[in-house]
Amino acid sequence: MTPHVLKHIISFKKLKVGFKTVRDTAKAMIFSREKWILAFLEYQKPCDETFAVRCKGIFFEIYEVIPLKNRQLEIICNNEIAPDVFCLTLGGILFNEEIHPGQFVNIHVPGKSLRRPISVSRIYGDRIDLIYKIVGEGTEILRNIKSGYLDVLLPCGNGFDLSAFQNEILIIGGGMGVAPLFALTSEAIKQCKKVTVIFGFRSPKDAILEEALMNLGVDYHFCFDSEGVNVVTMREQLGMSHMPFAACGPLPMLRALCSMKDADTVHERQNLINDDIYGQLSLEARMGCGFGACMGCSIETKQGMKRICKEGPVFNSKEILWDKI
């Protein structure tokens, strides 16, 4: 579900109202941040300007749920931006209305049976940038497609929730995990938050998006495994180990980010998850469908089973059961 403000009435932080069109009637769902559905409402379309939901005397924000659809998107360009890393630009619809940072698209790669889920790294007008690494047969085919149209399912999953951060946000990415975080950085700046970015790569030649971050004028720090500095140590150096963060990257990195800072080994870190740190983590998985039907990417969380493609890919760090993933 994509929360999208349809009509702002009175903001009430803990609750959101989902709005879903089902044929000629529309349904509104009120759910808390934990997604417990508190109430269902049904009303006839079209809803007028004054439409509001009243529940126990409080007005809520009305969100529209953008339906997931498959669309034919035009390939604008598809170029190598680092060794084995490509940036695919697609065009066709007004994406700002449709995609939020952290959501992904699911691409039908000609000749492959399963779609390829790829996060969106830049959303601008009628274009989106997708950054992907050549890792297997699907991406190998994709790199060679330079023009024409692709069948793309979007928007998939739930993105980052910037409203959960106060004025400051630390954005941490590792390897290809930096891709969705660039969209988040742009959006956070647009919302006038104080943003610090830490991106980690294997070596300087693998670094991407530096120029783009520079153009945003954001405070950013790059670190490289080849130089013995990773994002966790960089975060410590910057004295930001306790700051709420949003992150995407390899699982050991995410786990380390949520751990006590004096844990030395990965094994220790597993057992020393620090519950005082708040983070939003974007996870990845091999997916069957990408829209919640096949249960191919479910993980066990503190709130039960959740699908990375549907309830995720962004999770609250506190709901993750680290020994289950």
Partner 1 sequence: MGQNIDLSGMMIDNPLIPASGAFGYGMDYQDFFDVNEVGTFCTKGTTLHPHKGNPLPRIAEYSGGMLNCVGLENPGVETVVREYFPKLRNTYHKKVIANVCGFSVDDYIKTAEIFDREECVGLIELNISCPNVHAGGAAFGKDPSIASEILTEVKKVCRKPVYVKCTPQCPDLVLMCKTLEASGADGLVLLNTWLGMRLDIRTGKPILSNITGGVSGPGIFPLSLYKIYEVYKNVNIPIIGCGGISNGRDVIEMMSAGASAIEIGTELLTDPMALPRIKKELSELMDTYNITELSEIIGRAHK
Binding residues for partner 1 (CB under 8 A):
22-23, 27, 67-70, 108, 112-115, 137, 153, 285-289, 291-300, 305, 310, 324-325
- For residue 196, which of 161, 171, 230, 162 has the smallest C-alpha distance? 171
Sign (positive or negative) of CA dihedral 19, 287, 84, 315? positive
Q: Copy the structure tokens of residue 79.
A: 């170029």
CA atoms within 13 A on the CB side of 95: 29
Residue with Cβ nearer partner 1 (199 or 292):
292
Amino acid 226 reads S
CB of 38 to partner 1, least distance (A): 14
**Closest CB to partner 1 among residues 223, 297:** 297
Pairing verdict, β 85-91 and 15-22:
unpaired
Burial 175-203 (b: 16+ CB within 10 A, else e): bbbbbbbbbbbbbbeeeebebbbbbbbee
Least distance to partner 1 from the beta carbon of 173, Å? 21
Q: In the bound complex, what is the minimum distance in angstroms from residue 101's beta carbon to partner 1?
A: 21
Residue 30 beta carbon to partner 1: minimum distance, rounded to whole angstroms: 15
Residue that the structure tokens 């070596």 belong to: 203
Contact predicate 206/191, CB 8 Å: no
| Secondary structure (3-state) at 283 | coil
**107 or 184, CB closer to partner 1?**
107
Give the gyration radius of the chain's Cα atoms: 20
- If DSSP codes are grouped into helix, strand and coil, which group holds residue 165? coil
Q: Which is nearer to partner 1, 184 or 283 (CB)?
A: 283
C-beta of 296: minimal distance to partner 1 in Å? 4
Residue 92 gets the label, from left (phi > 0), alpha (psi -120 to 50) or beta, of: left
For the bound state, the minimum distance from the C-beta of residue 304 to partner 1, rounded and expressed in Å, comes to 8
**Cβ at position 305, least distance to partner 1 in Å:** 6
Which CB atom, from 23 or from 267, has the smaller least distance to partner 1? 23
Q: Pick between residue 84 and residue 137 the one whose CB is nearest to partner 1.
A: 137
Identify the helix (H) or strand (E) that includes residue 216. helix 210-216
Q: Residue 223 or residue 289: which is nearer to partner 1 going by CB?
A: 289
Cβ proximity to partner 1, 68 vs 87, nearer residue: 68
239: left (phi over 0), alpha (psi -120 to 50) or beta: left
For the CB of residue 298, give the shortest distance to partner 1 in the complex, in Å.
6
Q: Residue 286 CB, nearest distance to partner 1 (Å)? A: 4
SS3 percent helix, strand, coil of the chain, rounded to 5, is: 20, 40, 40
Q: Are 280 and 318 in contact, with CB atoms under 8 Å apart?
A: no
92 or 288, CB closer to partner 1?
288
Within 10 angstroms of residue 252's Cβ, the number of other Cβ atoms is 14
